[in-house]
Amino acid sequence: MPGNGVIRRVLPDEMPRFTSIHVQAWNMDPGSFNPDEAELEDSRVLAVEGDLVAVLFLLRRDTWMGPDRVPQVGLGGVATPAEHRRRGYCRALLGGVLEEARASGDALSLLWPFSHAFYRKLGWEVGGRALEVTLPLASLPGRSSGWSACPVDPDSEAHLAELDAVYSRSVQEYNGCLVREPRDWKRKLSRKHERRFAYLLRRPGGGAAAYAVYAFKDLDHFHRRMDVRELLALDGEAHKALLGFLRDHDSQAREIQFYLPEQHPLLYSWPDRPQVTYRDAFMLRVVDVKRALEGLTYPGEGEMALNWRVEDPLCPWNHGTFRVTWSGPRCTLERLDGSPQADLACDIATLSGIYAGHLPAGAARVLGRLRLDGDEGARLSWLRRAFGRRPGHLLDFF
Ligand SMILES: CC(C)(COP(=O)(O)OP(=O)(O)OC[C@H]1O[C@@H](n2cnc3c(N)ncnc32)[C@H](O)[C@@H]1OP(=O)(O)O)[C@@H](O)C(=O)NCCC(=O)NCCS
């Protein structure tokens, strides 16, 4: 810790300073920085000699890694006042927060980076990239008969429960989506400053099976685009019905833009090439190697045991060599003493990228980030099978 710093939540009499740090860092309108008491409880500041020298917010929500719910802490609003930058204050705050996260039972940490290189140095790695896919609205399929669309009322607990049921099941196709609480749905759908619309699609029998959240963007006079921020469906029929519902907005917009993970079915379903651009990439860090690896369900094909050496200067509990033993769908980790022979060796950012399923183990090896000893082919194909199965996707911004 630089100087005699202390990490804690922000205090009431520090609010003017705390606000000005955020306003300057994010070029915000001062009136729009209004964290509520629960958010302030989850603020963390590094205070040195009574001054705030680095700040952030925690978002403690489990994340879906496929069907597994893994405890996670999201980090947002990370900032160091301009006059205190490049003195190690942000690193010190992140190190303290990771220690707290581990003590609270978290296994992972997610964030939206301003720079990949900055957070990679601190142990995060890209967990998934979002694509923007733009299509003429009139190219969507027509309405599916028998399906009905219902506008979501953010004050209706029944609607939020239906939305959450579709969301929770469908995001298990991906790695990284957060487990949402009712207050997250409320906040997402009732933001007063944004015109955002959400509709549930119900099957002919009545059950909710898909939903979309969207807004309109004015491009120029009489030319609008529909921006679909969330598009989730339980199966192929529901997906088609949802597109059919969106198609009926052709009187309001010419184009439709979807925010999608890599490998989404929409990317493969158009005869003409859709316009695709990479938008954002979120990053994931393994906070606790043992808890994170033991928390996943593996394909369950056979047995494997490897000594995995991990370098993690920021989190000493991860730094060292682990005996990782896979048996069926589970794996266990045991920390080894001394300097045992390692079958795999990498830094924590590389392990995080492989764990997220975004960094292929083979690519990490080519880049010199993953070192293998012994039967390289068998080890690489084991890592591919164990981790490389799902695209990363994170639908919440923080
Ligand atoms: C990004 C920011 C938080 C960095 O804070 P900081 O206290 O200066 O960072 P630290 O001094 O702890 O630096 C940690 C490491 O990153 C490097 N670093 C610092 N700022 C960097 C930058 N802008 N770009 C690349 N690397 C940077 C440091 O050199 C240091 O590396 P080292 O350990 O190898 O020497 C600060 O510049 C800031 O508040 N920016 C505006 C808000 C923002 O963009 N926040 C991040 C949102 S995701």
183 φ, ψ (degrees, to nearest 5): -65, -30
Let me know if residue 392 belongs to a domain: no
Taking residues 30-45, report their average pLDDT: 94
User: pLDDT per residue over 102-155, tens digit each?
Assistant: 999 999 999 999 999 999 999 999 999 999 999 999 999 999 999 999 999 988
Q: Where residue 323 sits, what CATH number does that domain have?
A: 3.30.1050.10
Who's near 145: CB < 8 A, 6+ residues apart? none
Q: Indicate if 137 and 266 belong to the same structural domain.
A: yes
Does pLDDT of 88 surpass 90? Answer: yes
Q: Which atom of ligand 1 is nearest to the CA of 53?
A: 7
Q: Indicate if 319 and 206 belong to the same structural domain.
A: no
Let me know if residue 124 belongs to a domain: no
Q: Which of 134-138, 174-178, 186-190, 204-208 has the highest mean pLDDT?
A: 174-178
Q: Which atom of ligand 1 is nearest to the CA of 26?
A: 42
Q: Indicate if 217 and 349 belong to the same structural domain.
A: no
Q: Indicate if 263 and 338 belong to the same structural domain.
A: no
pLDDT at res. 2: 62
218 φ, ψ (degrees, to nearest 5): -80, 120
pLDDT at res. 195: 85
155 φ, ψ (degrees, to nearest 5): -90, 0
Q: Indicate if 259 and 299 belong to the same structural domain.
A: no
Q: Indicate if 247 and 136 belong to the same structural domain.
A: yes
Residue 111, H or E segment: strand 108-111
Q: Whose CA is nearest to atom 29 of ligand 1?
A: 86
Let me know if residue 123 belongs to a domain: no
Q: Where residue 205 sits, what CATH number does that domain have?
A: 3.40.630.30
Q: Give distance in angstroms: CA of 197 to centre of ligand 1.
A: 37
Q: Indicate if 256 and 370 belong to the same structural domain.
A: no
Q: Give distance in angstroms: CA of 357 to centre of ligand 1.
A: 27
pLDDT at res. 271: 66
310 φ, ψ (degrees, to nearest 5): -120, 130
Let me know if residue 195 belongs to a domain: yes
Output the six-digit token pair for 140: 């969507």
Identify the residues whose C-beta falls under 6 Å from ligand 1.
25, 54, 78-80, 85-91, 113-115, 118, 121
Q: Give distance in angstroms: CA of 115 to centre of ligand 1.
A: 9
Domain end position, chosen among 111, 139, 160: 111
- Which one, of 148, 110, 114, lies nearest residue 128 by Cα? 110
Q: Indicate if 269 and 294 belong to the same structural domain.
A: no
Determine the longest span between alpha carbons in the chain, in angstroms: 70
Decide if 230 contacts 185 (C-beta within 8 A): no
Let me know if residue 91 belongs to a domain: yes
Domain end position, chosen among 111, 139, 167: 111
Q: Give distance in angstroms: CA of 119 to centre of ligand 1.
A: 9
Q: Indicate if 211 and 251 belong to the same structural domain.
A: yes
Domain count, the chain: 3
Residue 198, H or E segment: strand 197-202
Q: Give distance in angstroms: CA of 85 to centre of ligand 1.
A: 7
Q: Which atom of ligand 1 is nearest to the CA of 54?
A: 7
Does pLDDT of 193 surpass 70? Answer: no
Q: Give distance in angstroms: CA of 391 to centre of ligand 1.
A: 28
User: pLDDT per residue over 279-338, tens digit each?
Assistant: 889 999 999 999 999 999 999 878 999 999 999 999 999 999 999 999 999 999 999 999
Q: Which atom of ligand 1 is nearest to the CA of 92?
A: 12
Q: Indicate if 203 and 302 belong to the same structural domain.
A: no
Q: Indicate if 272 and 168 belong to the same structural domain.
A: yes
Let me know if residue 315 belongs to a domain: yes
Pocket-testing residue among 21, 52, 90, ligand 1, by greatest number of atoms within 8 A of Cβ = 90
pLDDT at res. 336: 98
Share of the chain above pLDDT 90, in %: 87
Question: Domain range holding 65?
Answer: 6-111
Let me know if residue 395 belongs to a domain: no
Let me know if residue 371 belongs to a domain: yes
Does pLDDT of 265 surpass 90? Answer: no
Q: Indicate if 185 and 240 belong to the same structural domain.
A: yes
Q: Give distance in angstroms: CA of 143 to centre of ligand 1.
A: 50
Distance, in Å, from the CA atom of 160 to the CA atom of 168, rounded to the nearest integer, reads 12
Domain end position, chosen among 261, 281, 301: 281
